């Protein structure tokens, strides 16, 4: 193919899309009720069996329906975009916020009185039994203090499941679940129950068999429903429903033999994984690679290109039906209720050839035509990517819904190999969630998504001799107070010492959360579909995956460097601000008599994002502490069979930069108290005034190859700047330079004008499908809180 | 030797091929009434006063060759990948000719593509000395009529036309016409421009529609702006104007790309 063709949706898919856009987000209590019943009945069972019985109960009884427009079936909750409640993870916040769901500023959910009543009724059972209750109780005292003060956050890790992975969809389609069933039966029958480890394995294998039966029955329920509906449908629809019924009796248990069978099989499993656990960033992996054989098969059998497109659109619309409700506090970190269901296309095959195929083009075209925040589309860039495909990506970027994002093979493959990933697996990586990467079907949970560390707040604590400025609590051993720091080296030393202690506390929180997740909420289906869980007889949290490396998130990397530069320049080199005046200005949020002068001097200091070595080197230096310290730590799967078992650094921050900024005092970069922090490795908003080449140069000075977990960069471009073909070619050259020469990791674009966003704040009804890129994912502008909306509006617009 | 500049702009994409860095020389021998960079006119340091905040910031800074090369080389990878380079613009680059020549030598040593953008109102030998060192030259033509040219810019177009005719024959030349409402935007003007450009055999012409990107700068300088309330022109509106010129056999397009 040479040129992208973004077609209109078919009438019925358009109808499906419109209905979804008009659907209010509800809260659904069905899963919570069935889960409670199963847990009560299986109190005595081993946890893996209890989890299997839970899934069985839910799949057997939850409401199912088939939308009039759809060719692919399977629903997550009692209505589309309704968010189920997962009581085994956390219930306190659910009950506490029941009456506030529909009053939130952002991420609003509607809930009926009946649902509230249902949830209140089961609450007493869950008191003290949830993941959150048990993990919090297990937190060691020092780490608990840090958690309570909000210095390090990992609420998401103890209030929901893990996910953040792509399971082996290739194997699923090729072999069907029956293959996994037979393998499990074989393994089970060969166990020697006098051996302790075999005894443990036996429960896991039994759990898999229960779950696979439940999945088969669940698909059967849809087959039956489709047949029932066919009886009263128009002849054309009846034929479709009968075909749906046939397919549901076949997949996901049997191998797929057509495009529709493949997509249905995929959807069933993808869906059930999101009923089994409420972890998000459950990704599709390299969709264009493993689905290609089924696409080609059907095309040869006479499927038209239009029919293939409709099926794809149908699948993308289905991803939009999945939802998740988070606590109001956690919503601020993941604004716009994102599910981060990533689809990766392009890149290279394991034999290093261009992997772009006919299906890659169709995915790009149909995601563009569907134009919704889900799925989250990533394109693997590599230096030999064809210009027509690059142009096609830019055409889609121009549409302004933040997709596709680019991940760069040229840095990611060597970075993964440096972490111990085998070459053929490294060439097969896919994006997970937003910017991070893993090997589909072989990698455990959370290649990203562990705890968040707030860098600027850590710096302020370091300058305050280890005492948190907001609460007066001593949270780490200090090296003295800023007022006594005679040289800039003292400042760097203080940062280094404080940061190392807090990084260590973050690891303690992570490991403690992981320990309790392993004990309380193992995922059976998810483990079934990741190599080598069946082989080892271990679920993912026990070390079942081939690879298991995790990364954390940091907030305000740029603010740290900018702060160090402003201190160095003004206090130690030019000596235009005394330490006392600066400190007084910071703690009073620049309200001292000469606070305005001081703030201006700080703001005028060199800022990261402008290709200025003075400050960029300090960003690198500040980050070196993190790189050096995090290397030392292992996760709970270390030496339990996995390759890795360690941390690797990454710089995502999702929307945490706003929430964490709100509790961060004024900082030496001139940022006022409460203002948002910088996200990922992006510069602080509105300080990168030298254009995109300078931003790329600054970002490229980070030790990207060591930051294998992801280096997130957001850029905003005014749509008027991408009108001319010539401008698009220049964007293409810009990106290729960033990736080929500077070895950048990732970049994503927001191409929505400031005017449009300002108008959407005043007239949300006119912009119900306005989509913006937040930080590694896209979401509806209308779902965001005013603070997040403003944050996006304020990002520096790069002009072309 | 130092030059006095008012800006170094990275990722400049409308002043030549590829991704470029534009070097803005301060000081100009024309006084175009519509000038979008009024701070480019005086060769001396000035200040901008933000009319909202009262904040005062300096305009213009001295740079050595080394200073400029330090900035320029930062984006070398982007020039190489995009077929871009450096554009010397202003103000009027010829008013700091010796420096410009030295800068060109430094850029040539780094094998960087050089473009200049000039009104070209300097004696031919001086004009030739710099033009001979660059890869691409943009010349502005504000008016075909000498009196009108004087009214709009303060100087005659004699020298400009003489240099342009030479450049058309001897250099890689693109002529740019800023189309200014009420000054040179009538269809008769297009006809006359077309005739003149065809006569000189100018290889390529670009029409730049009048815009209002500079109006805030007049406020910041505390200057009156003759075109303060004039609406910007669109590329589309210039199409009939362009067609007339094209009909004279001139290769002409709307916009700077």
- Tens of pLDDT, residue by residue over B138-150, are 999 999 999 999 9
Which residues pair with residue A644 across a beta bridge?
A548
ipTM associated with this complex:
0.92
Closest to A734 (Cβ–Cβ): which among B19, B83, B257?
A: B19
**Shortest alpha-carbon distance between residue A252 and chain B (Å):** 48
pLDDT of residue A451: 86
A737 interface with B at CB cutoff 8 Å: yes
Structure tokens at A69: 């427009």
Torsion angles phi and psi, residue B118, rounded to 5: -145, 155
Can you list the alpha helix ranges (DSSP code H) found in A737-781? 754-762
| Identity of the residue in B18, B74, B81 whose CB atom sits nearest the CB atom of A697 | B74
Across the interface, do B82 and A734 touch by the CB < 8 Å criterion?
Answer: yes
Chain A hits for B13, Cβ within 8 Å: 727, 730, 800
Mutate which of A603, A691, A698 to test chain B, going by most B C-beta atoms within 10 A? A691
| Interface contact A674, partner B, CB < 8 A | no
Q: What is the pLDDT of residue A756?
A: 83
Q: Is A585 in CB contact (< 8 Å) with chain B? A: no
A736 touches chain B (CB under 8 A): yes
Asked if A694's CB is within 8 angstroms of B81's CB, the reply is no
Interface touch A611/B74, C-beta < 8 Å: yes
- Of A606, A584, A560, whose CA–CA distance to A457 is shortest? A560
Report the gap between the CA of A393 and the closest CA in chain B (Å). Answer: 18
Bridge-partner residues for B49, per DSSP?
Answer: B56
Residue of chain A nearest B255, judged by CA positions = A724
Q: Is the separation of the CB atoms in A570 and A601 below 8 Å?
A: yes
Phi-psi region of A211 (alpha: psi -120 to 50; beta: other; left: phi over 0): alpha
- Residue % of chain B over a pLDDT of 70: 100
Q: Using the beta-carbon criterion (under 8 Å), do A741 and B81 form an inter-chain contact?
A: yes
User: Contact A726/B18, CB-based, under 8 Å?
Assistant: no
Q: Which residue of A has its CA nearest to B83?
A: A733
Of B13, B77, B84, the CB nearest to A742: B77
Chain A partners of B9 at a C-beta cutoff of 8 Å? Answer: 691
Interatomic CA distance for residues A630 and A506, integer angstroms: 10
CB A155 within 8 A of CB A449: no
Closest-CA residue in chain B for A741?
B77
Identify the closest residue of chain B to A698 by CA–CA distance.
Answer: B74
- What count of Cα atoms within 13 Å lies in the side-chain half-sphere of residue A72? 30
**CB half-sphere exposure, A59, CA atoms < 13 A:** 30
Query: Structure tokens of A592?
Result: 């001292």
Q: Which of A138, A33, A46, A44 is nearest to A88 (CA)?
A: A33
pLDDT for residue A762? 86
What is the structure's pLDDT at A156? 87
Spatial contact of A429 and A439, defined as CB atoms under 8 Å apart:
yes
Q: For residue A730, give the nearest of B42, B241, B83 by alpha carbon.
A: B83
Contact A692 B11 (CB under 8 A): yes
- Cα separation, A316 vs A617, in Å, equals 43
Contact with chain B for residue A614, Cβ under 8 A: no
Q: Who's near A423: CB < 8 A, 6+ residues apart? A: A417
Could you tell me which residues come within 8 angstroms of residue B92 by beta carbon, excluding any fewer than 6 positions away?
A: B25, B27, B28, B29, B30, B118, B119, B121
C-alpha distance from A692 to closest chain B C-alpha (Å): 7
Q: In sequence order, which ranges of A631-724 are alpha helices (DSSP H)?
A: 656-662, 692-700
Q: Which H or E element spans position A84?
A: strand A83-84
CB distance from A718 to chain B under 8 Å? no
User: Does any CB of chain B come closer than 8 Å to the CB of residue A692?
Assistant: yes
| For testing contact with chain A, the best of B18, B19, B22, B232 (most A CBs within 10 A) | B19
Residues from chain B that touch A741, judged by Cβ atoms under 8 A, are 77, 80-81
> Which segments in chain A show pLDDT lower than 50?
800
- Residues in chain B with CB shorter than 8 Å from the CB of A692 are 11
Phi, psi of A739 (to 5 degrees): -80, -45
CB B87 within 8 A of CB B23: yes
Taking CB atoms and an 8 Å limit, are B19 and A800 in contact across chains? no
Burial (CB count within 10 angstroms: exposed 0-12, middle 13-18, buried 19+), residue A625: buried
Cis peptide before A252 (omega within 30 of 0): yes
Alpha helix segments (H runs only) across B89-235: 97-109, 124-131, 146-153, 158-170, 187-200, 215-221
For residue A691, the distance in angstroms to the closest alpha carbon of chain B comes to 6
Within 10 Å of residue B150's Cβ, how many Cβ atoms? 13
The average pLDDT across B18-40 equals 95
Span B152-160, mean pLDDT? 97
From the list B74, B78, B257, the residue facing A734 with the nearest CB is B78
**Mutation site, B8, B12, B13, B14, interface A, largest A CB count within 10 A:** B13
**DSSP letters of A206-263?**
HHHHHHHHHHHHHHHHHHHHHHHHHHTS-HHHHHHHHHHHHHHTTTTTSPP-SHHHHH
Which residues in chain B have Cβ-Cβ distances shorter than 8 Å to A728?
A: none
Q: Chain B residue with minimal CA distance to A604?
A: B57
Across the interface, do B11 and A734 touch by the CB < 8 Å criterion? yes
3-class secondary-structure state, position B235: coil
Rounded mean pLDDT, B77-101: 97
Closest residue on chain B to A733 (Cα):
B82
B82 contacts on A by Cβ (under 8 Å) = 730, 733-734, 737
Q: In the prediction, which pLDDT does A800 show?
A: 45
CB contact under 8 Å between A733 and B83, yes or no, is yes
Nearest to A690 among B10, B18, B81 (CB): B10
Beta-sheet strands, E only, within A246-375: 285-286, 342-346
Chain A and chain B share a number of CB contacts under 8 A equal to 57
Q: Which residues of B touch A (CB under 8 A)?
A: 9-11, 13, 18-19, 74-75, 77-78, 80-84, 255, 257
Distance from CA of A605 to the nearest CA of B (A): 15
Tokens representing residue A732 in the block: 């293409």
Residues A775 and A462: their CA atoms lie apart, in Å, by 28
Task: Kindly list the residues from chain A whose CB atom is less than 8 angstroms away from the CB atom of residue B57.
Answer: none
B111-114: long-range contacts at Cβ-Cβ below 8 A with a sequence spacing of 24 or more?
Answer: B112/B72, B112/B76, B112/B79, B112/B85, B112/B86, B113/B16, B113/B17, B113/B18, B113/B79, B113/B83, B113/B84, B113/B85, B113/B86, B114/B85, B114/B86, B114/B87, B114/B88
Q: How many CA atoms, within 13 angstroms, populate the side-chain half-sphere of residue A705?
A: 8
Secondary-structure percent of chain B, ordered helix, strand, coil, rounded to 5:
40, 25, 40
Please indicate if any CB of chain B lies within 8 Å of the CB of A733. Answer: yes
Q: Is A342 on the interface with B (CB under 8 A)?
A: no
Query: Are B77 and A694 in contact (CB < 8 Å)?
Result: no
Residues on chain A touching B83 (C-beta within 8 angstroms): 733
CA A737 to chain centre: 27
Cβ-Cβ contacts under 8 Å, A800 against chain B: 11, 13
Q: Can you point out the beta strands (E) in A670-759?
A: 714-717, 746-750
- Facing residue for A693 by CB, picked from B10, B83, B257: B10
**Which residues in chain A are closer than 8 Å to B10, comparing Cβ atoms?**
611, 690-691, 693-694
Q: Quote the tokens at residue B89.
A: 């613009």
- Would you call A693 and B257 a contact, using CB atoms and an 8 Å cutoff? no
Q: Are A358 and A298 in contact (CB under 8 A)?
A: no
CA distance A792 to chain B (A): 23
Q: Do B11 and A800 touch (CB under 8 A)?
A: yes
C-alpha pair distances (Å), A638 with each of A105, A384, A418, A545, A551: 42, 37, 18, 11, 14
Q: Beta strands A152-153 and A452-454: pairing type?
A: antiparallel
């Amino acid at each position: 193919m040479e040129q992208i063709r973004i077609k209109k949706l078919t009438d019925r898919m358009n109808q499906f899309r419109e209905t979804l856009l008009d659907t209010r987000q509800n809260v659904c209590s069905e899963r919570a009720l069935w889960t409670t019943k199963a847990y009560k009945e299986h109190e005595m069972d081993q946890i893996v069996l209890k989890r299997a019985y839970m899934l069985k109960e839910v799949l057997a009884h939850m409401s199912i329906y088939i939308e009039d427009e759809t060719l692919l079936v399977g629903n997550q909750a009692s209505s589309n975009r309704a968010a189920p409640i997962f009581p085994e993870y956390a219930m306190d916040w659910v009950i506490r916020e029941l009456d506030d769901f529909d009053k939130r500023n952002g991420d609003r959910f509607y809930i009926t009185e009946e649902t509230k009543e249902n949830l209140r009724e089961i609450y007493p059972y869950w008191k003290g039994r949830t993941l959150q209750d048990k993990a919090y109780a297990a937190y060691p005292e020092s780490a608990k203090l840090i958690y309570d003060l909000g210095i390090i956050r990992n609420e998401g890790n103890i209030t929901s499941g893990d996910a953040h992975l792509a399971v082996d969809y290739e194997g699923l389609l090729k072999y069907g679940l029956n293959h996994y069933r037979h393998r499990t039966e074989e393994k089970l029958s060969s166990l020697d129950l006098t051996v302790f480890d075999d005894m443990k394995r036996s429960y896991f294998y039994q759990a898999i068999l229960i779950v696979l039966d439940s999945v088969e029955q669940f698909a059967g329920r849809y087959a039956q429903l489709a047949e029932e509906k066919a009886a009263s449908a128009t002849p054309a629809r009846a034929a479709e429903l009968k075909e749906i019924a046939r397919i549901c009796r076949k997949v996901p248990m049997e191998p797929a033999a057509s495009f529709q069978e493949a997509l249905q099989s995929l959807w069933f499993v993808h869906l059930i994984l999101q009923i089994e656990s409420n972890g998000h960033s459950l990704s599709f992996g390299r969709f264009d690679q493993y689905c290609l054989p089924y696409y080609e098969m059907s095309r040869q059998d006479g499927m038209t290109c239009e029919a293939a497109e409709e099926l794809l659109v149908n699948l993308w619309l289905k991803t939009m039906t999945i939802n998740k409700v988070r606590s109001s506090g956690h919503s601020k970190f993941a604004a716009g209720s994102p599910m981060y269901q990533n689809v990766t296309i392009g890149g290279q095959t394991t034999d290093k050839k261009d992997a772009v195929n006919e299906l890659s083009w169709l995915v790009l075209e149909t995601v563009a035509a569907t134009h919704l925040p889900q799925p989250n589309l990533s394109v693997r860039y590599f230096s030999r990517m064809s210009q027509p495909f690059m142009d096609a990506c830019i055409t889609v970027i121009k549409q302004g819904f933040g997709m596709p994002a680019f991940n760069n093979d040229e840095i990611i493959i060597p970075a993964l190999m440096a972490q111990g990933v085998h070459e053929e697996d490294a060439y097969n990586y896919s994006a997970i969630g937003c910017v991070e990467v893993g090997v589909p079907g072989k990698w455990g949970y959370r290649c990203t998504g562990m705890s968040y560390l707030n860098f600027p707040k850590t710096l302020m604590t370091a300058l305050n001799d280890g005492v948190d400025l907001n609460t007066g609590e001593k949270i780490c051993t200090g090296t003295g107070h800023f007022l006594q720091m005679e040289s800039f080296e003292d400042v760097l030393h203080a940062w280094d010492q404080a940061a190392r202690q807090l990084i260590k506390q973050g690891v303690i929180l992570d490991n403690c959360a992981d320990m309790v997740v392993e004990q309380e909420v193992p995922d059976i289906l998810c483990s079934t579909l990741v190599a080598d869980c069946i082989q080892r007889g271990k679920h993912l949290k026990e070390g079942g995956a081939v690879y298991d490396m995790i990364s954390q998130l940091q907030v305000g990397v740029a603010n740290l460097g900018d702060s160090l530069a402003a201190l160095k320049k003004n206090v130690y080199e030019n000596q235009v601000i005394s330490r006392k005046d600066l400190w007084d200005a910071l703690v009073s949020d620049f309200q001292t008599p000469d606070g305005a002068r001081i703030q201006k001097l700080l703001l005028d200091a060199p800022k990261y994002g402008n290709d200025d070595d003075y400050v960029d080197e300090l960003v690198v230096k500040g980050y070196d502490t993190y790189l050096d310290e995090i290397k030392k730590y292992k996760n709970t799967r270390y030496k339990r069979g996995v390759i890795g078992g360690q941390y690797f650094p990454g710089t995502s921050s999702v929307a945490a930069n706003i929430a964490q900024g709100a509790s961060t005092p004024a900082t030496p970069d001139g940022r006022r108290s409460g203002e948002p922090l910088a996200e990922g490795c992006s510069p602080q908003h509105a300080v990168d005034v030298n254009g995109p080449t300078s931003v790329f140069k600054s970002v490229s000075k980070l030790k990207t190859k060591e930051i294998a977990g992801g280096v997130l960069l957001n850029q905003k471009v005014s749509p008027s700047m991408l009108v001319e073909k010539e401008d698009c070619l220049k964007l293409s050259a810009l990106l290729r330079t960033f990736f080929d020469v500077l070895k950048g990791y990732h970049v994503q674009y927001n191409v929505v004008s400031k005017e449009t966003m300002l108008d959407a704040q005043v007239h949300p009804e006119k912009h119900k499908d306005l989509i913006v890129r937040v930080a590694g994912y896209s979401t509806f502008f209308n779902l965001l809180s005013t603070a997040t909306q403003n944050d996006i509006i304020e990002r520096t617009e790069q002009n072309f | 030797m130092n030059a006095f500049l008012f800006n170094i702009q990275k990722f400049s994409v409308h002043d030549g091929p590829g991704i470029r860095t534009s070097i803005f020389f301060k000081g100009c021998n024309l006084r175009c009434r519509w000038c979008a960079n009024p701070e480019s006119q005086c060769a001396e340091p000035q200040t901008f006063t933000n009319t909202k905040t009262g904040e005062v910031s300096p305009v213009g800074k001295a740079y050595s060759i080394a200073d400029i090369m330090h900035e320029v080389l930062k984006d070398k990878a982007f020039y190489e990948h995009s077929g871009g380079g450096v554009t010397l613009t202003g103000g009027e680059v010829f008013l700091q000719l010796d420096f410009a020549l030295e800068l060109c030598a430094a850029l040539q040593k780094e094998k960087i593509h050089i473009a200049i953008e000039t009104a070209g109102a300097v004696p031919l030998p001086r004009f030739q000395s710099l033009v001979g060192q660059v890869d691409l030259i943009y010349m502005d033509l504000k008016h075909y009529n000498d009196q009108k040219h004087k009214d709009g810019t303060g100087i005659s177009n004699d020298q400009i036309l003489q240099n342009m005719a030479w450049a058309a024959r001897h250099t890689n030349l693109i002529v740019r016409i800023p189309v200014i409402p009420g000054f040179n935007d009538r269809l008769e003007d297009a006809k006359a421009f077309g005739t003149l450009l065809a006569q000189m055999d100018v290889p390529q012409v670009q029409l730049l529609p009048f815009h209002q990107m500079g109006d805030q700068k007049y406020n910041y300088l505390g200057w009156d702006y003759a075109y303060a309330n004039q609406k910007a022109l669109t590329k589309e509106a210039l199409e009939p104007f362009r067609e007339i010129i094209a009909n004279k056999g001139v290769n002409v397009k709307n916009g700077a790309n």
